[in-house]
Structure 1
């Protein structure tokens, strides 16, 4: 049994004990219930209440019983919902309000209303309170619960609830109470929906602000909810309802000044966003929906984001841009805290993540943000936001946005350079997705992808010097894997030039002390090879550009050098067609040869990086032979390694495993493939002609089976 399940059972048992005790007067109980209530309240505070537990507590609170007010108050103050609050629980609370012999005390009713206000954003259906609006409104003459009741009505009120008879009732009640601040506050909510209604001086008095009753309670609720969601992964946020009133604060984040959705001056035949609560209603009334008063609320509200996506208007985006400009002026003039910038970046990040776009009006804001940003705080959020930069001219984007970004981030540390590399990887990945969805790529700015890749080429070479680690190499390969994926799209190839990694970078990665790095490098080069073949093989997609013709010889050199090192036992040879000898100085070759002979007289430089002797492949090669030997019976000798043609012949003569050299090498490739290191076999099969035939025979055999 898990700890969560055990905790749930214990809380249920405690609530059962409390429920049994509530039916008996205190004098008739055999034991005090005080400690049980304290334990239940503590458990509710620690992990919150599941729906069944919450329903049980609400029933205890809403029925007149023999528990003392202190115990009941402790339970409701610690009633943190771990999931959504059901309609049944809400209706029980509403039904418990008012005067009556079997209803809770007015003090407890005020606590119940306060609780409804604090969990309003977690109601399973907020429409349930809308349906009970008349019941709630008619309780306003009860002074003891009026402040909490007005707050709840302020959250629930929509234009359809505002009617002349209710306005008259509010005005009369306000006059009777001498301008009760809670009533004045609610009357102002009414006036927002119908400003043309004459209410005289009634709304000019002191009014309640309807702030969250307990920010600390809210913070604890969010901690419990986050833990529960992380553990059980249930549900999803309703994107077809406005984040009403306190929803932003419920997240525990500091306010940024971004207004909430509120529609004023609505027409009689229009629909407000606040009235939308499901996708069908949204779709049916799309053209009738009135835009809210403050359009910049789009940054935080998912429903307004959908509306502006389906009904884009230039004037709307201009209004948002003007608001952001005014916000910038407040920061520059000192009227707002600089930290407010960072808070707004959180909101913009959520907006871009939801809409998968970064509008030009936000680009200008972010450029201004770089002027006050230290380059470290919320760096990941800033970079994630900028990765949604629209597909366009990289040189123009670099001059306007990316150069200021680099100046802010780069501080001569490998960490800042790695962050920048990961950002460009995400940017290229999103641009690839955008290009795959474009119907016409002919409008793509010429050289945009080429400029991006060349820029990252220099960054990658810098990182190999400042941080020559396996982690860095894998991050570099992430970028070039994205390049290979882009160039493998036949619909995109006619519109972009293939740009290969720098030669120096390829050779640095080739001699990395990591098998995953070598395998991924080979896999990336195999993908590049297929892209070159797609462009050049008849029927050719297009003609090679001058720059591509210059790169193709260099790329063929990569392939020849890798095959010479890994397969042919001719490392650093330059006599073969296209071979570049891994670009080591010729004067260095005899020095390396001499060193190797001194270490092992049987080892030569030419074969030092093959399947058997390579520092990153030798263990896998020998493991393959060991596996074959374990499957055989009656062997009189086992191979000590490393494997060579001569050693295999000697092994067979001594009663060991009989294995041909070519069979051994093909088997090692298959073993690497089965071990998850597909890159080396993939490159060999696509490059070596004799292996191409072997691969084809294997495929045919598999199909026949």
Structure 2
């Protein structure tokens, strides 16, 4: 949150003062401009320059005016853009380069070129400098700006820019200057594209390394960009657009990334297309089938463009090389030749690779299961580990458990926080599997038995959470997981034909049924309704009907039990009854019921235990039920008496005789269901309409009419 500054200390006002001063010679000004420059540079350092102010500043720097060189240089050194850099800004700086009486001084031009190098990753149009490549190249003869110019050219050079006349021009200029290291460095960049053409001895001389001109300046720029939330930086402080290779020039790679080779295609032919030539999405699509793979395919771990290419054009050799490289790094750590912290760095690399390719190869899974997870403390780079492992493919459960077991051992520390983190991860994993299965053209080839086994495995975790963290947010997180199963998988006819159904544990269902949150109860009922439709489809639908397994037949009986119990509580006024078929009485011990019934009678003689959890008396539904009645009374004309609540069948009859609302018991209950649906709580109506036969007929008659 930025502070409101006095008018004289706002960048826009300071710019106005600078522009006015630039038109007057120093001796004609009434006050010194030095303090204004200091305030402006301070604001630029703190907040950066927005696009409009940046354009005005560039005009001030590139056009001939009366400001002194020290002031112009100070502004240039603090010219931090807070947003992307427009093409017009770049072209103004390029146009200010070279000889001429109206051109800025050469020291100032050097600063311009240095600035273009440092903001190269923030250009709105990454190809703009490529479009003026010829203009920049022709300025190489200007010795005063040659070092910075060579650096910029090395940064933007692509294969299409390397032409025989340019090679010859650099060779001639290098001979004239006695082997300028900057020219030699640029020539080496050219040689990377045509090693068989450039064979001169000049490339073997001392060459500039083209390091970043000012790491501290770049670090401050990154902070400004992050504060403005307009750009996300990668490890070298740049923004990758994903459609150009990551050049190693100007980068200071750290950790395991320092081991990556840059994308480079050797032995390229004149007619071939290399990855280094691609600089936008259109070029990638146009040349997808023609692009030659780079020499060192392990570069895929660090380069987004190569990742996209291998995703669109899978290559088994690349996967093999990546896996071998990872295992070689693991071997170095095991033998003591590398720091154990290298494994943590590798997790970040593998995460980037997996997220880009949407796939974790078997050897990388083996790395997690055997090398990383057994030694991981469960905290370092946790988000990255979660994100990488959320891309685990659907494996046989025995193989999956070889990964989940060390993962759980590392994560869990007997606290609800870690249990919730694990449950959230499992929910993400199950949702992703559901999407992948729905898109799969050959389900029979997949280990689909893993889905019910996995859900059964997570059942233990959800039950534990009801004891360690019996809170509403925890219950909602638990329901997220079963929603991913019921809605994401069992509601899909394509999947239901092949995937066995696995229900939530009965104890969990009963605990959530008596939750103090209506949102929890409503979501639970929605999930149970989805499960019920899935069972019906499997057993009755001509297209989905299949033979139930013994496990599924046992689960049908259990499911019918708690379905009947919920209906007895919510709808039938027979809570905890066991007289109906399949009813389990919510598994309340029978010996406790007389005590509960006696307590209810002692509170109110007109109450009974059976109706205490129905629409009218339930702690989570009583407010909605009476609110429905209140709305009817407010819209009804001539109501002489209002219902005091809670509503019962006898109270409705008495209300009608006193001149109150005329409403039957069935219409009241159906109206409450409609009211809940209108309020965004469709779960209970959904379950009741799909379970109670009289309501099914009512809905069918309404839809038929």
What's the TM-score once normalised by structure 1's chain length?
0.91
| Residue 428 of structure 1, aligned match among 413, 427, 430 | 430
- 2:666 paired with 1:665: no
- 2:683 paired with 1:676: no
| Residue 451 of structure 2, aligned match among 425, 449, 464 | 449
- 2:594 paired with 1:575: no
| Residue 315 of structure 1, aligned match among 296, 311, 317 | 317
Q: Deviations over 1:211-255 (max 9, x none)?
A: 2222333233333334444699xxx974433344469879x9995
Gaps of 5+ in 1: none
- 2:73 paired with 1:73: yes
Q: Deviations over 1:639-685 (max 9, x none)?
A: 22222122222333333333222222111111111111110111011
CA distance in 2, matches of 1:167, 1:538: 74
- What residue number does 1:358 align with? 360
Q: Deviations over 1:1-53 (max 9, x none)?
A: x999999x954443343223212211112333333333433443344334333
* Closer/same/farther in 2, CA of residues 121 and 546 from structure 1, 3 Å limit: same
CA distance in 2, matches of 1:74, 1:598: 85
- What residue number does 1:482 align with? 484
Residue 244 of structure 1 contacts residue 261 of structure 1 at CA under 8 Å; is this kept in 2? yes
* Closer/same/farther in 2, CA of residues 541 and 248 from structure 1, 3 Å limit: farther
Q: Deviations over 1:485-513 (max 9, x none)?
A: 21111111121111111111111111111
- What residue number does 1:109 align with? 109
- What residue number does 2:245 align with? 242
- 2:372 paired with 1:369: yes
- 2:617 paired with 1:613: yes
CA distance in 2, matches of 1:253, 1:469: 42
- 2:377 paired with 1:395: no
CA distance in 1, matches of 2:553, 2:77: 74
**Offset at 1:393?**
1.8
* Closer/same/farther in 2, CA of residues 4 and 80 from structure 1, 3 Å limit: farther
**Offset at 1:599?**
3.0
- What residue number does 1:382 align with? 385
* Closer/same/farther in 2, CA of residues 170 and 229 from structure 1, 3 Å limit: same
What's the TM-score once normalised by structure 2's chain length?
0.91
**Offset at 1:150?**
1.9
**Offset at 1:448?**
1.4
CA distance in 2, matches of 1:114, 1:391: 51
Residue 395 of structure 1 contacts residue 451 of structure 1 at CA under 8 Å; is this kept in 2? no
**Offset at 1:620?**
1.4
- 2:416 paired with 1:414: yes
After superposition, residues 227-238 of structure 1 pair within 5 angstroms as 227-229=227-229, 238=241
Q: Deviations over 1:270-299 (max 9, x none)?
A: 222121123333233223322223323323
* Closer/same/farther in 2, CA of residues 378 and 601 from structure 1, 3 Å limit: farther
| Residue 584 of structure 1, aligned match among 572, 583, 588 | 588
CA distance in 2, matches of 1:341, 1:80: 36
- 2:520 paired with 1:521: no
CA distance in 2, matches of 1:239, 1:193: 21
CA distance in 1, matches of 2:343, 2:147: 35
* Closer/same/farther in 2, CA of residues 568 and 448 from structure 1, 3 Å limit: same
CA distance in 1, matches of 2:295, 2:212: 23
* Closer/same/farther in 2, CA of residues 6 and 35 from structure 1, 3 Å limit: closer
After superposition, residues 495-510 of structure 1 pair within 5 angstroms as 495-510=498-513
Residue 121 of structure 1 contacts residue 247 of structure 1 at CA under 8 Å; is this kept in 2? no
After superposition, residues 642-661 of structure 1 pair within 5 angstroms as 642-661=646-665
CA distance in 1, matches of 2:6, 2:622: 51
* Closer/same/farther in 2, CA of residues 161 and 336 from structure 1, 3 Å limit: farther
Q: How many residues align?
A: 695
What is the CA RMSD across the aligned residues, in angstroms?
A: 3.0
* Closer/same/farther in 2, CA of residues 265 and 51 from structure 1, 3 Å limit: farther
User: Is the deviation greater in 340-349 or in 440-449?
Assistant: 340-349
User: Is the deviation greater in 670-679 or in 215-224?
Assistant: 215-224
Residue 348 of structure 2 contacts residue 384 of structure 2 at CA under 8 Å; is this kept in 1? yes
CA distance in 1, matches of 2:704, 2:252: 63
- What residue number does 2:304 align with? 302
Residue 360 of structure 2 contacts residue 391 of structure 2 at CA under 8 Å; is this kept in 1? yes
- What residue number does 2:605 align with? 601
CA distance in 2, matches of 1:190, 1:98: 23
CA distance in 2, matches of 1:180, 1:467: 70
